[in-house]
Structure 1
Amino acid sequence: MSPAAPPADDTYIPLLEAELLRWVGSGDSLLELACLDALFPPGKLLRPVLCIESAKAVGGTADQVLAFAAGIECLHVASLVHDDIIDQDPVRRGRASTAEQYGLAEALVAGDGLSMAGVAALLSTGPAERALQAARVTVDALRHMCHGLMRETEIRGDLTCGVPTVLNIMQAKTAVLTGAACQSGAILAGATPQQHQALRQYGEQLGMAFQIRDDLLPYTAEDQDTGKTATSDVANLQPTLPVLLAYQAADEADRDRLAAVFRGSTDPVTAHREVLAVLTRTGALNETARMASSCAEQARAALTGLPDSAQLAELATSAADRRR
């Protein structure tokens, strides 16, 4: 079986965990407890690992970017806390979401607290000129992410929004921040403009592969493997990429089935089962997987000429094949 998730160099994990604790605290207040609950046990740590590996790919070291990498993880997890509130999803990483465990108001504040800790960590890195450039890249990516998240709420229930619209949302919501993690690591390590732009391109394509696979997981993995509720997207009437590919390829009868589900008149378990049947009949599952593999291949191609990018290439391969 392919790796379940992009592999991280195990030597980074304790370093990143210690750095996260340094910026968030040890749990002496309700805010710290809620933030720590959202951060630990950590997920894939994809973005901070990418930041470190990108620095190494241009001759840098983990120490140069460790605080910045931890800051990016804080900002990413903050977006997940708020995303679960938007989706009313009770599960995150196979356990109760922050809102489910602490309450809605507390989760909102925890998301804000993680964001502020993340910004502080970004700005603590040196040299100052490089840190400022990297922070600008990251903050600009976060602005794009907010636009993507808002646009995602606007298309709920709309099966006619089209595949390009959802791909643009993925780019803004996920790919731009993944690209920023890579580009920032390279900037902090003193990369040339050509090198850090190549790594940004790599990261964005990797982010697309990762998000496309994420859209597939509710239909290809068990709940315990995805770490969240498989019915979440259909319950929220969210037209994800495989659903739109199926709607585009479906005959009239299957389009009518999808339309009925996305009118919200079907219970989530039945809706999920009916959508899965349509995705299978239309070949949308295979087409979505093909698109993820194509993005991963483009990510690997962007690494051409970088001196130490073998681990980044492996991350791209694993992202396209992920099962959770």
Structure 2
Amino acid sequence: MSIAVTQAGHTHIPHLEAELLRWVGSGESLIEVACLDALFPPGKLLRPILCIESAKAVGGDVEQVLAFAAGIECLHVASLVHDDIIDQDPVRRGRATTAEQYGLAEAVAAGDGLSMAGLAAMLSGGPAAERVLDAARIAVEAARRMCHGLMRETELRGDLTCGLPTVLNVIHDKTAALIAAACQAGAILAGATPEQSQALRQYGEQLGMAFQIRDDLLPYTAEDQVTGKTAISDVANLQPTLPVLLAYEAADDADRDRLTTIFRGGIDPVTAHRDILAVMTRTGAVAKAAQMASSSAEQARAALTGLPDATRLAELATTAADRQR
């Protein structure tokens, strides 16, 4: 089930799409064309929907946070454009990536352009200037953490001994930090109490962990046409994702040696992917990672206790742990 197909998501998507067009442009220049191509058709719109639903959970409304939510999506998509450059991935959301379509230099510029459009949207105004600045500081800090996570991820390539805590920190910085910021910013813009703001930040962090753990599992549990990207990307980049490390830690000597050989490089990615999946199956790593995603989702739901109207946020936490795309 896609997160974007919840009832709440359907309600907000047209407004978010219109707001994105307002800040990115109509395609009158190459950079606008490349940015729009990266944004549309939209993905799950998880982060902006969470921003809006977090505001509503504490009594706010869509108009208070719509521009900010669109800005968050611009920051997120900018990171995807640059991530695809780093990973040399040719496919994103079932289509050619920005770099594949327009060129490497153009993709770098488009990612930067989306980041700047996002900042402009977030700082464009709202219910109170002080709230806008507080929310923007949180979002920018999360974006900074995201850059750290992306860089740290590249440093870990080929290293099966980096350990689960290290990879969990990367997951937090790369994915959970911006999701948490989207939730906390929505709460702040809606005038939440400090306690409500922190509760929604905690919710977002745990939902982000669940989302990324499940994302790391998808190359081994779903088809390319379902995930919208190549299943062998992480393997080709020798990326020790969480389910791979779980398999490595639980493997016997023979399976551990096979994983070590694969992560030295030089093995055909299709063959490597098949062998890794076999080790994961034998060690129970797939089930363990799925259980970790479910546990994080449950912690996310628990953080919502006491909020005035958090039903839709609870539903989003459930789909984050169970999604198949």
Instruction: Specify the alignment match of 1:43 in structure 2.
Output: 43
| TM-score normalised by the chain length of structure 1 | 0.99
Aligned partner of residue 196 in structure 2, secondary structure? helix
Runs of 4+ off more than 4 Å: none
Aligned partner of residue 319 in structure 1, secondary structure? helix
1:195 to 2:196 alignment = yes
Q: CA deviation at 1:11?
A: 1.8
1:5 to 2:3 alignment = yes
* CA offsets 1:225-254 (integer angstroms, 9 cap, x no match): 111100000000000000000000000000
The answer to whether the Cα contact below 8 Å between 2:68 and 2:121 also exists between their aligned partners in 1 is yes
Q: What letter corresponds to residue 210 of structure 1 in structure 2?
A: F
How many residues are treated as equivalent by the alignment? 322
* CA offsets 1:37-76 (integer angstroms, 9 cap, x no match): 0000000000000000000000000010000000000000
Aligned partner of residue 166 in structure 2, secondary structure? helix
Q: What letter corresponds to residue 107 of structure 1 in structure 2?
A: A
Percent identity, aligned pairs only, is 80
Q: CA deviation at 1:265?
A: 1.7
Q: What letter corresponds to residue 44 of structure 1 in structure 2?
A: K
The answer to whether the Cα contact below 8 Å between 2:167 and 2:241 also exists between their aligned partners in 1 is yes
Instruction: Specify the alignment match of 1:163 in structure 2.
Output: 164
Instruction: Specify the alignment match of 1:125 in structure 2.
Output: 125
Q: Structure 2: how far apart are the matches of 1:16 and 1:228? A: 24
The answer to whether the Cα contact below 8 Å between 2:244 and 2:276 also exists between their aligned partners in 1 is yes
Aligned partner of residue 141 in structure 1, secondary structure? helix
| TM-score normalised by the chain length of structure 2 | 0.98
Q: What letter corresponds to residue 117 of structure 1 in structure 2?
A: A
1:53 to 2:53 alignment = yes
Q: Structure 2: how far apart are the matches of 1:165 and 1:9? A: 33
Q: What letter corresponds to residue 222 of structure 1 in structure 2?
A: E
* CA offsets 1:8-57 (integer angstroms, 9 cap, x no match): 43121110000000000000000000000000000000000000000000
The answer to whether the Cα contact below 8 Å between 1:296 and 1:317 also exists between their aligned partners in 2 is yes
Q: What letter corresponds to residue 133 of structure 1 in structure 2?
A: D
Q: Structure 1: how far apart are the matches of 2:247 and 2:9? A: 37
Instruction: Specify the alignment match of 1:14 in structure 2.
Output: 14
Q: Structure 1: how far apart are the matches of 2:132 and 2:198? A: 16
Instruction: Specify the alignment match of 1:239 in structure 2.
Output: 240
Q: What letter corresponds to residue 320 of structure 2 in structure 1?
A: A
Q: CA deviation at 1:272?
A: 0.4
The answer to whether the Cα contact below 8 Å between 1:4 and 1:321 also exists between their aligned partners in 2 is no
Aligned partner of residue 9 in structure 1, secondary structure? helix
Instruction: Specify the alignment match of 2:100 in structure 1.
Output: 100
Q: CA deviation at 1:4?
A: 3.3
Q: Structure 1: how far apart are the matches of 2:35 and 2:54? A: 27
The answer to whether the Cα contact below 8 Å between 2:71 and 2:121 also exists between their aligned partners in 1 is yes
Q: Structure 2: how far apart are the matches of 1:113 and 1:143? A: 16
Q: Structure 1: how far apart are the matches of 2:125 and 2:315? A: 27
* CA offsets 1:195-235 (integer angstroms, 9 cap, x no match): 01000000000000000000000000000111110000000
Instruction: Specify the alignment match of 2:182 in structure 1.
Output: 181
Instruction: Specify the alignment match of 2:297 in structure 1.
Output: 296
Root-mean-square deviation over aligned CA pairs:
0.7
Q: Structure 2: how far apart are the matches of 1:171 and 1:9? A: 24
Instruction: Specify the alignment match of 1:34 in structure 2.
Output: 34
Q: Counterparts in 2 of 1:270-309, with a 5 A limit? A: 270-309=271-310
Q: Structure 2: how far apart are the matches of 1:277 and 1:5? A: 29
Q: Structure 1: how far apart are the matches of 2:103 and 2:280? A: 36
Q: Structure 1: how far apart are the matches of 2:45 and 2:2? A: 14
The answer to whether the Cα contact below 8 Å between 2:132 and 2:189 also exists between their aligned partners in 1 is yes
The answer to whether the Cα contact below 8 Å between 1:61 and 1:189 also exists between their aligned partners in 2 is yes
Q: CA deviation at 1:5?
A: 3.0
Q: What letter corresponds to residue 92 of structure 1 in structure 2?
A: R
Aligned partner of residue 47 in structure 1, secondary structure? helix
Q: What letter corresponds to residue 78 of structure 1 in structure 2?
A: A
Q: What letter corresponds to residue 287 of structure 1 in structure 2?
A: K
Q: Structure 2: how far apart are the matches of 1:306 and 1:297? A: 16
Q: What letter corresponds to residue 304 of structure 1 in structure 2?
A: T
1:112 to 2:148 alignment = no
Aligned partner of residue 191 in structure 1, secondary structure? coil
Aligned partner of residue 11 in structure 1, secondary structure? helix
The answer to whether the Cα contact below 8 Å between 2:74 and 2:114 also exists between their aligned partners in 1 is yes
The answer to whether the Cα contact below 8 Å between 2:2 and 2:44 also exists between their aligned partners in 1 is no
Structure 1 unpaired stretches of 5+ = none
Instruction: Specify the alignment match of 1:224 in structure 2.
Output: 225
Q: Structure 2: how far apart are the matches of 1:108 and 1:265? A: 29
Which region of structure 1 is more displaced relative to structure 2, 178-187 or 138-147? 138-147
* CA offsets 1:144-188 (integer angstroms, 9 cap, x no match): 111111110111000000111100100111101100000000000
Q: Structure 2: how far apart are the matches of 1:318 and 1:125? A: 32
Aligned partner of residue 203 in structure 2, secondary structure? helix
1:67 to 2:31 alignment = no
Q: Structure 2: how far apart are the matches of 1:227 and 1:260? A: 28
